[in-house]
Amino acid sequence: MISIITKLASSKNRPKKYNKLTMLLGMFVLLGSILASCSGSSAPTSSSQTPTGKVLLVGTFNGVKGQYTTIQDAVNASKPGDWILVGPGDYHEDYSMTHVPSAAQIKLGGFGGVLIKTSDLTLRGMNRNTVVVDGTKPGSPQCSSATQNQDFGPAGSNGQPMGTNGIVVFEANNTWIQNLTVCNYLGGSAGGGNGIWWDGGSGTAKIGLHGYWGSYLTATSDYYNPQNPGATGTYGIFANSAAGPASWNQIYASNYNDSGMYVGACQQVCGITINHAWMEYNALGYSGTNSGGAIVIENSQFNNNQDGFDTNTQIAGDPPPPQNGDCPNGKISPITHTRSCWVFMHNYVHDNNNPNVPTSGYAGLGPTGTGMTVSGGRNDTIMNNVFENNGAWGILFVPFPDGDKPYPGVTCANSGGFVSPLFKGCIYNPEGDALLNNKFIHNGFFGNPTNGDYGQIVMNGGLPQNCFAGNVAPDGSTPANLEQVQAKCGIITKQANTGGALLGQVLCDTHFLPCAAGSTYPTATQVVLHPLPSNLPTMPNPCKGVPNNPWCKNGKPIS
């Protein structure tokens, strides 16, 4: 039972035999210095793109027609170093329908409405809000919610629709995707449901992609059918088996049944900064399986999700485990001044109390009313954030019990887990994590036992201790007085600490077991999808850095 309940994070979407779906703001800073210090390389931003290569134009901009009517046609004609600019319009891209993916492509995730295999390519819309890559059938209204307008993907070997992905960068290095919206690419029997995906090779336990950047991106789904709940958006903005340097800036995602954004399977070389992200109305705002090293999430907002943010270790999903925030190569972070280069800072995590989001599989067991869950993660630092109005807990540090079959070459012992006497599987505990100088406001108002600002469950002793210091936490911790008892990170613990009643309350919140008398948590009534916010920030100058072409001259749009 515990193995199911505490799967509070999610792994990436893959064919069903691998699929185990489990669980504002500031200045754009530190990209070069953080990643250079933490990962040994710097991450160029979009402003550093070199204006070389051809410019391929899709659609029409300011009355001037481009050479192509579809994005995929331009991609097919592109070479490394080229730019693809896309004019305003609704682009019903369906490459995976006209080029049915092979079994090998399906296993690795290499299929999509737009499939990019060209390295050193920039795909940029001319306006974030009016350039729409649309998963509905050609001729349908933009991002239609009507069932008859949905493209569920080609039929698989079992006769069931395989699902669709939006823009997929497949094992192509150093790519930029910028300034556009993706909607209504749906899950199916072969996975799918991903809006924008940098895929280095699903399930390979290898890094198959180096260097990626995304900015001014929107991903959402406007379709949900309770009779077919898996056929909806799964992940919004997504990277797996991909190493840095990398960055996401000014991104938004909503209405996904797993997570709005995801970074996974990148071992100790993730090398990504996520800045100015806004994730809402998802099962999980963020999820990250087995992703470590230099990851910085800052100046971002997570609200109105079921569970706001989740990072986890998993023995089979997106291998190899564990999720470890240690700086690569024994370096010290210039942010934390410790060995931890995985940093969550200056974020606003609030009102994650929404049971009426689309959910699928184990992502639906995320504890409603939780701002953030660190599930089997280690050496992660959460500092200088605000957690507000999360009805169950502001933050949970919990084990990740995993009963899945290990990836070849991975064992419970060699990946830092413990064989559980409670079930046939492996337990990964949260260890060496730091909760520092955060402000908690009005959390735990569901009023159940242990509800409050933060809680910790550790099922085994002999581990590096988590630490808690400098937090403003008026609604307290479970166990009590964690700041006094565990003020220093890394001390080797002598015994387990299950948090007393906390474990039972987590089980109750997931609705896997009946609640004790007097304990209640929100239950889903019906899934409610939400429209996009109006006028999300678009790139101020979409011609910046672009070689001269019929739409841009000397780095400025031609009017």
Three-class SS of 423-435: CCCEEECCECCEE
Question: What is the pLDDT, as a whole number, of residue 365?
Answer: 79
Report whether 132 contacts 93 (CB < 8 A).
no
CA 254: distance to chain centroid? 12
Work out the average pLDDT over 318-336.
95
- Judged against a pLDDT cut of 70, whether residue 12 lies above it is answered with no
The first and second tokens of residue 327, run together, are 């700086």
- Judged against a pLDDT cut of 70, whether residue 392 lies above it is answered with yes
- Judged against a pLDDT cut of 70, whether residue 26 lies above it is answered with no
Work out the average pLDDT over 60-71.
98
Domain at 526, CATH number = 2.160.20.10
Phi, psi of 312 (to 5 degrees): -155, 165
Q: Do you know the residue count of the chain?
A: 559
Work out the average pLDDT over 303-308.
98
The whole-chain average pLDDT of the chain stands at: 89
Question: What is the pLDDT, as a whole number, of residue 44?
Answer: 37
Report helix, strand or coil for 133. strand
Question: What is the pLDDT, as a whole number, of residue 49?
Answer: 66
Q: Band of the pLDDT at 52, cuts 50, 70, 90? A: confident
Question: What is the pLDDT, as a whole number, of residue 420?
Answer: 83
Q: Cβ-count burial of 244 within 10 angstroms (0-12 exposed, 13-18 middle, 19+ buried)?
A: buried
Q: What is the pLDDT of residues 441-461, one digit of tens each?
A: 999 999 999 999 999 999 999
Number of domains in the chain: 1
- One DSSP character per residue, 217-276 reads EEEE-----TTSTTSS--EEEEEESEEEEEEEEEEEEES-SSEEEEEES-BT---EEEEE
Work out the average pLDDT over 517-530.
94
Question: What is the pLDDT, as a whole number, of residue 30?
Answer: 29
Look at 511 and 233; give whichever has higher pLDDT. Answer: 233
CA distance 118 to 72: 12
CA distance 418 to 429: 8
**CA nearest 263: which of 279, 282, 243, 281?**
243
Least confident of 1-5, 102-106, 544-548: 1-5
Work out the average pLDDT over 317-327.
94
Question: What is the pLDDT, as a whole number, of residue 51?
Answer: 63
Residue 390's identity, in one-letter code, is N
Look at 559 and 1; give whichever has higher pLDDT. Answer: 559
* Bridge partners of residue 191, in order along the sequence: 188
Report whether 328 contacts 269 (CB < 8 A).
yes
Element (DSSP H or E) covering residue 383? strand 380-383
Q: Band of the pLDDT at 360, cuts 50, 70, 90? A: confident
Q: Band of the pLDDT at 557, cuts 50, 70, 90? A: very high
CA distance 423 to 517: 26
* Bridge partners of residue 345, in order along the sequence: 298, 383
Q: Band of the pLDDT at 433, cuts 50, 70, 90? A: very high
Report whether 151 contacts 134 (CB < 8 A).
no
- Judged against a pLDDT cut of 50, whether residue 20 lies above it is answered with no
Range of the domain at 285: 2-557
Work out the average pLDDT over 10-14.
35
CA distance from start to end of the chain: 63
The first and second tokens of residue 67, run together, are 């050479």
Work out the average pLDDT over 275-291.
97
Report helix, strand or coil for 308. strand
- Judged against a pLDDT cut of 90, whether residue 96 lies above it is answered with no
CA distance 7 to 9: 6
The first and second tokens of residue 483, run together, are 């700041």
Question: What is the pLDDT, as a whole number, of residue 98?
Answer: 85
Question: What is the pLDDT, as a whole number, of residue 200?
Answer: 96
Q: Band of the pLDDT at 519, cuts 50, 70, 90? A: very high
- Judged against a pLDDT cut of 70, whether residue 244 lies above it is answered with yes
555: Cβ contacts below 8 Å, ≥ 6 apart:
51, 541, 543, 544, 545, 546
Report helix, strand or coil for 509. helix
Q: What is the pLDDT of residues 487-496, one digit of tens each?
A: 999 999 999 9
pLDDT > 70: percent of the chain: 91
